[in-house]
A and B are shown apart, each in its own frame.
Chain A
Amino acid sequence: MISFVRRVALALGVAGAFAAIFRVRGQGGVPPSTGGWKPVSLEELDE
């Protein structure tokens, strides 16, 4: 039983370590800090 608990703890620990590495090293996009979406009007499409 103790061996089983130890294995589960080890598995969770390893999974946590991997998750932490991916979270720190993952290459997420950089959110735009300026600007935004602007609806295009019919007049703009006439240009």
Chain B
Amino acid sequence: MKVLVSGLGLVGAYLIDQLVDLGFTEFIFHDKDLKKMRLFETKYTGSIIVEGLHDVTADISIIASPANTHLKSAKLLLQNGSHVVSITDSLQETEDLLELDELANNAGLTLTIGAGFMPGLSCLLVRLACEELDVVNNIMVAKVGTAGPACARQHHHALNNVSLNWFDDQWLTERGGTGRVLLWFPEPIGAKDCYRSALPSPVLIRSEFPDVARISARMEANRRDRLTSKLPMLRPPHADGGPGAIRAEVRGSKEGSMKTVVYAVMDSPALATAKLAAQLVDGISRGQAPLGAKGVINWDQPKDILRKLVANGVVVSKFDS
């Protein structure tokens, strides 16, 4: 089975190793940096490199390039007959990718959107938490940390843009960097101030839970992040913005009593993203993926994916009060 990896940044590099561990051997690499592609071609025997995606014939493609470059690639790859996994965390791009549902469905292909730390792994935590409740009223997800430099740039962009949250049967748009909530993550991350940002999680979560009254997403930011969010990034981002954490807090009722369930993961965002994306590729190769343009939250058997991730070293924690 031929797997295309487009984008050979931090996540892309981890991802290939994860795919090798799962038994995938035939790779096609795509990146704008030819020198980097040559390095990967040398490292992984039998792999090939491509400079464009027009004539690529891969069975499954993962787009791990910077956010807001996925739409064109996904469309091309679907037209070429490839299943696609996109790790985008851009709100606008997620909405655009969801519009490829008809194209993917007609071709009998899957386009999995937001297969990262958040959205992605956080969506699985939401599914896990919701299973413990009879009625769900409120879902809030939040994240701390970034993967590579491209992810850090998207983080900066998200803080400076309009957030979209579902609140009592309507979409509310509010300025990024507002709505502070102090949230607790597993140690060593601990307590962090989290703010509204242009995050795609509410859009994806609502596709699975359309009857939930409130769905929101927050992102950690410090004073400097908020103060400089309107400016270009003042210094180059870190090569790896980890360690990070995600949490999913779900409120509702169980057997008539109010209950809050909180799950979280503390990990390297890049490595956790790579582990999840590799599991999704494995799932697609086994025919377990939903057809059409869907989020990770719409996949069947979320517990199976989580079980494989836990077996692969991802620590899922539950807040036990």
A residues adjacent to B (C-beta < 8 A): 28-29, 31-32, 34-42, 45-46
Contacts and interface: CB of A to CB of B under 8 A. Distances in A.
Contacts of B183: 29
Interface string B283-321: 000000000000000000001001100110001111111
Nearest to B190: A31
A6 B117 CA distance: 53
Contacts of A37: 186-187, 264, 317-320
B319 A35 contact: yes
Nearest to A31: B191
B262 to A, nearest CB: 9
A34 B182 CA distance: 17
21 contacts: A29-B181, A29-B191, A34-B321, A35-B319, A36-B320, A37-B187, A37-B318, A37-B319, A37-B320, A38-B317, A38-B319, A38-B320, A39-B316, A39-B317, A40-B263, A41-B310, A42-B307, A42-B310, A42-B311, A45-B128, A45-B307
B209 interface: no
A36 B186 CA distance: 8
A34 B320 CA distance: 9
B307 A38 contact: no
Contacts of B307: 42, 45-46
Contacts of A46: 307
Interface in B157-185: 181-184
A42 to B, nearest CB: 6
A46 B264 CA distance: 18
